[in-house]
């Protein structure tokens, strides 16, 4: 299995615990899945928006450069008054094998994403266009999503609990810790279902230390 496939087999809750153990931010606050049953895993392709100038600039044709399996990550500064993702982008991204879209802001034309099963994570939905309201300031630079810095190529993982970003410089260690946490939580569950008390099962497998920050 590839590293991305191993991450995709884990929940965001487990990976969030692993990030906590390393003292690294990653959980994107306030960014939620558009519909049920959506999940994603892939590398970030980042776009940062700013308020439109005079004359206004473009909202961007960046999608032509997003590779299959990539995750479009859009920093619209959390704006809820205009969207930067809609019908055409959803249909083209889905057809080209893009893994999903994450927006610090809102989306529209949600029927298309829901109908195709295309994963979109955002702060909500609103019908008003971003054209002439925002413009692209930078593509493939650092962005801020849900209070967390995301860089191009960071691993993005999303499920029904939300979405997070794993920095490239620690992704292998995060994966190692997360897989260990998942194994120990499975053991706790099996022990409890076999008749042990929750307290006994947790104590046997160090439950309260699973996400506790490592000390140097």
Kind and range of the H or E run holding 176:
helix 171-193
pLDDT of residue 35: 86
Annotated binding-site members for Mg(2+): 109
How many residues in total does the chain contain?
A: 216
pLDDT of residue 198: 80
pLDDT of residue 215: 61
Annotated binding-site members: 86-89, 108-109
Q: Is the dihedral of CA 15, 140, 147, 87 positive or negative?
A: negative
pLDDT of residue 188: 79
In tens, the pLDDT along 141-180 reads 999 999 999 999 999 999 999 999 999 999 999 999 999 9
Please state the pTM of the whole predicted model.
0.93
Annotated binding-site members for substrate: 86-89, 108
156 burial (CB, 10 Å; 0-12 / 13-18 / 19+) is buried
Low-confidence ranges of the chain (pLDDT < 50): none
């Amino acid at each position: 299995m590839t590293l991305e496939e191993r991450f995709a087999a884990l929940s965001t809750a487990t990976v969030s615990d692993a990030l906590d153990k390393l003292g690294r931010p990653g959980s994107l606050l306030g960014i939620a899945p558009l519909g049920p049953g959506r999940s994603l895993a892939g590398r970030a392709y980042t776009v940062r928006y700013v308020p439109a100038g005079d004359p206004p600039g473009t909202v961007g044709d960046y999608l032509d450069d997003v590779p299959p399996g990539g995750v479009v990550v859009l920093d619209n500064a959390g704006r809820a008054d205009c969207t930067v993702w809609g019908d055409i982008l959803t249909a083209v991204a889905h057809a080209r094998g893009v893994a999903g879209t994450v927006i610090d802001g809102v989306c529209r034309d949600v029927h298309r994403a829901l109908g195709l099963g295309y994963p979109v994570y955002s702060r909500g939905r609103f019908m008003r266009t971003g054209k002439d309201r925002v413009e692209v300031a930078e593509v493939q630079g650092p962005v801020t999503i849900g209070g967390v810095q995301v860089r191009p190529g960071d691993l993005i993982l999303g499920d029904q609990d939300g979405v997070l970003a794993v920095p490239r410089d620690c992704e292998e260690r995060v994966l190692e810790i997360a897989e260990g946490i998942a194994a120990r939580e499975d053991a706790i569950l099996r022990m409890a279902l076999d008749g042990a008390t929750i307290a006994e099962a947790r104590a046997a497998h160090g439950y309260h230390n699973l996400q506790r920050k490592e000390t140097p």
